[in-house]
Amino acid sequence: MDHSELFNGLLINLLVILIIILLVNFYYLSKQKVYKIHLKSFSVFIISTILIFLSVMLSVPLKEGLIYDLRFIPFLLGGVYGGRKVLPWLAVTMIAIRFTFMGQGIVLAAVLTILSSIAIFYLNPKLSEKPWVTRVCWFTCFSFCYSILAFLLPYLIFGFSDYSSFIIYSLTLTGSTFFVFYLCEMIRTTYILQLESIKYEKMQVVSHLAASMSHEVRNPLTTVKGFLQLINENPSDIRVNSELSKIAVSEIDRATEVINQYLNFAKPHPEMDIDVNVTGEIKRSKEIIMPLATKKGIMMETELLHNHLIKGDPNKLQQVLINLMKNGIEAMESGGVLDIYSYEKGGQLFIVIKDTGIGMTKEQVTRLGEPYFSLKGKNGTGLGMMTVFQLVSGMNGTVKVFSKKNKGTSIILSFPVSVEDYDREIGVI
C-alpha cells in the first residue's frame, strides 16, 4: 500500500482525537469549582469509547486483515484517568468494536488489548503520584512498546514484514501519545495552578485587609484609651479634660471613617437609587472642604455647566467629591487653585476636579485605586481612591485620571444622565 496514505490516515486520526480531547477538557474544566480535579469514571468511559470507535472507523487497512489506527491512545487515556473501574470495561469495548471489522487481526487485537490492560492495571497506581512529566514519559514509552508488540506478533504469526509501514506506525503512535498526554497534563496542571493562584490572591487580600484595618483602627483607639486614663487620673481639671475629650472624640471619628471606607469597599453599590442634584452636592462638598483649602492657602473655583440630574446615592456622591477635593488640596503643598467644573455630552454628565499640585507618574496613575496604594506615605491608608472607584462604579459611572509630574492632576467623573429627568424636561412624562 502507499505509505503516504497510512501516514495521512494516522494524522487524521490524531486530529480527531485532539479536537475531542480539547473540547472535553475545556468544557469539563469550565464546570470545576474546586482546587482538585475529579473525573467521573462513567464520563471517561463514554468519551474513550467514542474516541476508540472513531479511531477504528478512520483506520487504514493493510494486508492479512490487519488495520492500523491510533485506538490505543484513547484506550490508554481511559485506563489512566478512569482507573481500574473503567479499564476492564474499556478493554471489552475495544475488542468488541474491533470485532466488527473481523479479519485475522482480531485475535492479535484482543491479545494486545489484554496484555496492555494488565500492564496499565499494575503500572497506573504506581505512576499516579509521580510528577506529570514523568508520567508522560512513561506513557510514551509504554506506547512505543505497544507498537513493537503490534508488529512483532503479526511478524511471528503471519510473516508480516512491511518494515516501512511499521516504522511509520510506531513513530506516529509514539509521538501522538506523547503529544496527547502532554497536552492533557498541561491543561490540567495549568488549570489547577490558576485556581491555586486565585485562592492565594484572595487570602492575601483578606490578610491585607485584616492587617490594615487592625493597624488603622488600633491607633485611634489606643489614643482614646490613653486620654481616658489621663482624665480618670485627674478628674478635677475640667479645662485639660475638656481638651482631651475633644481629641478623643476626633480620634473616634477617625476610626469610624476608616471603618466606613472598608464598608464602602465591601459594599460599593449605593443604598439608594434616586435622582441626585449634582449641583447641590458639589456646592455642599465645597462648603465642607473650604476650611481646609483656606488653611492651606488654596483657591477653589467652580463652574457648573450641566442641566440634568443623575441616578445614585447623594451621600455616596458627596463622599466621592469630598475625597477627591481633599486629595487635590493635599497635593498642593505650596498653595494653588482647585478647579471644579461640570458639563454634559452624549447623555453623560461629567465632573472635573483639577489641581495644580505635585502630579503623578504614569506608573502611579496606573496603580491608583489599588488597595493600600497611597502617595501620602504614613498619613494615607490607601483606601480613599479605592473607595472612590468602587462608589462611582456602583452608580454606573467611570473615573479617568490624567496627571503629569509637577504639573497637576485632573480627575474626570462621568455618570449617565437620569432618563426620567431628561424625559421630564422634553415633556415626555
Cell 475625597 belongs to: 323
Whole-angstrom Cα distance, residue 272 to residue 54? Answer: 59
Q: Establish if 302 belongs to a structural domain.
A: yes
Encoded amino acid at 136, one letter: V
Question: Any idea what the CATH number is for the domain that residue 399 is in?
Answer: 3.30.565.10
Q: Answer whether residue 205 is part of any domain.
A: no
Q: What is the overall mean pLDDT for the chain? A: 79
Chain Cα centroid distance, residue 169: 42
Q: What total of structural domains would you count in the chain?
A: 3
Regarding whether 155 and 104 lie in a shared domain, the answer is yes
Residues 223 and 166 in one domain: no
- Whether 131 maps to a domain, the answer reads yes
pLDDT at 428: 47
Residue 231 confidence (pLDDT)? 80
- Name the residue with higher pLDDT: 279 or 36: 279
The per-residue pLDDT for range 285-300, each reduced to its tens digit, is 888 888 888 888 888 9
Nearest to 17 by CA among 177, 241, 204: 177
Residues 310 and 390 in one domain: yes
Q: Are residues 242 and 323 in the same domain?
A: no
Reply yes or no on whether the pLDDT at 429 is more than 60: no
pLDDT, average across residues 344-349 = 89
Q: What is the pLDDT of residues 155-175, one digit of tens each?
A: 666 666 677 777 888 888 888
Domain-located, residue 204:
no
Query: 113-122, 197-206, 229-238, 360-369: which range is least confident on average?
Result: 197-206
Q: What is the CATH number of the domain that holds 216?
A: 1.10.287.130
Chain segment 55-64, per-residue pLDDT in tens = 888 887 766 5
The domain of 193 spans 3-199
397 belongs to a structural domain? yes
Residues 407 and 288 in one domain: yes
Domain-embedded: residue 338: yes
Same domain, 243 and 366: no
Percent pLDDT > 90 in the chain is: 4
Mind listing the pLDDT tens digit for each residue in 227-252? 788 788 777 777 777 877 877 787 78
Tell me, yes or no, whether 410 and 333 share the same domain. yes
**Residue 345, strand partner residues:** 348
Tell me, yes or no, whether 163 lies in a domain: yes
Cα–Cα distance for residue pair 253/220, rounded to 1 Å: 9
Candidates 316, 322, 334; CA nearest to 392 is: 316
Residue 410 and residue 280 share a domain: yes
C-alpha of 158 from chain center: 58
Q: Is the pLDDT of residue 351 over 90?
A: yes
Last residue of a domain, one of 199, 233, 256: 199
CATH, residue 119 = 1.10.1760
Residues 173 and 259 in one domain: no
| Residue 35 pLDDT greater than 70, yes or no | no
Are 12 and 140 members of one domain?
yes
Same domain, 245 and 371: no
| 396 and 354 co-located in one domain | yes
Please check whether residue 366 lies inside any domain of the structure. yes
Query: pLDDT value at position 266?
Result: 59
